[in-house]
Structure 1
Amino acid sequence: MPLNGNERLKVLYDYYHLGDEGSFDFDIKKAKKVGADFKNDLCNGMVKYFPDHFEDESKYCKALFIKKYPSSLSDRFINEITSLPVHSITSIDVVPVPKDLTTKVLQKKYLGIESDIIKQQRVRNKNNDFSTEISYAKRTEKKEIEAIMDDVRENDQCLFFVGVTIILMAESKKELESVCETVETIGKRNSCTIDTHYLKQREALNTALPIGVRQVETMRTLLTQSLAVLMPFNVQELNDSTGNYYGINQISKNVNIGNRKKLINGNGFVFGVPGSGKSFFCKMEMGSVFLSGDDEIIVIDPMNEYFDIAQTYGGTVVNMSTYTDNYVNPLEMDVWSLDPNDSKGMIREKGEFMLGLCEQCIGDSLNSRQKSIIDRCVRKMYIDIARGREKYIPVMSDFYDILMEQPEDEAKDIALSLELFVNGSLNIFNHQTNVDVDNRFTVYGIRDLGTELSPITMLVMMESIQNRIVENGQKGKATWLYIDEFHVLLNSEYSAKYLQQLWKKVRKQGGLCTGITQNVVDLLQNYTATTMLANSEFVALLKQANTDSSKMAEVIGVSEAQLRFVTNTASGMGLIKCGSVVIPFDNQISKDTDLYRLYNTNIHEKIAEQKKREAKFAD
Structure 2
Amino acid sequence: EYGRLAEAFGGSVFNISLSSEEHINPFDIPIIPEGELPGDVLRSHIVNLAGLAKLMLGKLTAEEDALLDRAITETYASREIIAGQNFSDAKPPLLEDLETVLRNLEGGRGLSERLYKFTKGSFSGFLNQPTNVDISNRLIVFSIRDLEDELRPIAMYVILNFIWNLIRAKLKQRIMIIDEAWWMMKDEASAAFLFGLAKRARKYYLGVSTITQDVEDFLRSPYGRPIITNSSLQLLLKQSPATIDIVAKAFDLTEAEKNLLLSAEVGTGLFFAGRQHVAIQIIASYFEDHLITTNPKQLLEERGK
* Rg larger in structure: 1
Cα–Cα, structure 1 residues 510 and 422, in superposed 2: closer, same or farther, change >3 Å? same
Q: How does 1:304-319 map to 2 (within 5 A)?
A: 305-319=1-15
Question: Distance between the aligned counterparts of 1:505 and 1:584, measured in 2?
Answer: 30
Question: Distance between the aligned counterparts of 2:296 and 2:201, measured in 1?
Answer: 35
| 2:134 pairs with 1:436 | yes
Q: How does 1:78-93 map to 2 (within 5 A)?
A: none
- Residue 436 of structure 1 aligns to a residue whose secondary structure is coil
The answer for the alignment partner of 1:368 in structure 2 is 62
Cα–Cα, structure 1 residues 574 and 369, in superposed 2: closer, same or farther, change >3 Å? same
Match of 2:211 among 497, 509, 516: 516
The answer for the alignment partner of 1:600 in structure 2 is 293
Structure 1 unmatched ranges of 5 or more: 1-304, 614-619
- After TM superposition, the score normalised by the length of structure 1 is 0.45
Q: How does 1:85-484 map to 2 (within 5 A)?
A: 305-334=1-30, 344-362=39-57, 364-383=58-77, 384-386=80-82, 387=85, 391-406=90-105, 408-409=106-107, 411-427=108-124, 428-472=126-170, 474=171, 477-484=172-179
The alpha carbon displacement at 1:497 in A equals 0.9
Question: Distance between the aligned counterparts of 1:334 and 1:524, measured in 2?
Answer: 32
- Residue 504 of structure 1 aligns to a residue whose secondary structure is helix
| 2:279 pairs with 1:584 | yes
**Structure showing the higher strand proportion among its residues:** 1
Q: What are the superposed Cα offsets for residues 341-361 of structure 1, whole Å, 9 maximum, x if unpaired?
A: x76522322222222222222
Contact 1:318/1:444 (8 A) holds in 2: yes
Cα–Cα, structure 1 residues 581 and 404, in superposed 2: closer, same or farther, change >3 Å? same
Cα–Cα, structure 1 residues 539 and 552, in superposed 2: closer, same or farther, change >3 Å? same
Contact 2:52/2:154 (8 A) holds in 1: yes
The alpha carbon displacement at 1:608 in A equals 3.5
- After TM superposition, the score normalised by the length of structure 2 is 0.88
Contact 1:469/1:506 (8 A) holds in 2: no
Question: Distance between the aligned counterparts of 1:388 and 1:581, measured in 2?
Answer: 51
Contact 1:395/1:431 (8 A) holds in 2: yes
Letter in 1 for 2:295: N
Q: What are the superposed Cα offsets for residues 388-408 of structure 1, whole Å, 9 maximum, x if unpaired?
A: 8862222222222222231x1
Contact 1:328/1:429 (8 A) holds in 2: yes
Q: How does 1:462-611 map to 2 (within 5 A)?
A: 462-472=160-170, 474=171, 477-589=172-284, 593-611=286-304
Question: Distance between the aligned counterparts of 1:489 and 1:605, measured in 2?
Answer: 31
Letter in 1 for 2:139: F
The alpha carbon displacement at 1:547 in A equals 4.6
Compare 523-532 and 315-324 and name the one that shifted more: 523-532
- Residue 539 of structure 1 aligns to a residue whose secondary structure is strand
Question: Distance between the aligned counterparts of 1:554 and 1:388, measured in 2?
Answer: 52
Contact 1:351/1:374 (8 A) holds in 2: no
Question: Distance between the aligned counterparts of 2:234 and 2:176, measured in 1?
Answer: 15
Letter in 2 for 1:421: F
Structure 2 unmatched ranges of 5 or more: none
- Residue 331 of structure 1 aligns to a residue whose secondary structure is coil
The alpha carbon displacement at 1:314 in A equals 0.8
The alpha carbon displacement at 1:524 in A equals 2.0
* Percent identical residues: 28
Question: Distance between the aligned counterparts of 2:95 and 2:270, measured in 1?
Answer: 45
Cα–Cα, structure 1 residues 599 and 336, in superposed 2: closer, same or farther, change >3 Å? closer
Contact 1:520/1:551 (8 A) holds in 2: no
Letter in 1 for 2:75: M
Question: Distance between the aligned counterparts of 1:457 and 1:470, measured in 2?
Answer: 20
Contact 2:32/2:38 (8 A) holds in 1: no
What's the Cα RMSD here? 2.3
Structure number with greater CO (CA < 8 Å, separation at least 6) is: 2
Q: What are the superposed Cα offsets for residues 333-389 of structure 1, whole Å, 9 maximum, x if unpaired?
A: 23788xxxx765223222222222222222x21111111111112223334324588
The answer for the alignment partner of 1:3 in structure 2 is none
Letter in 1 for 2:134: D
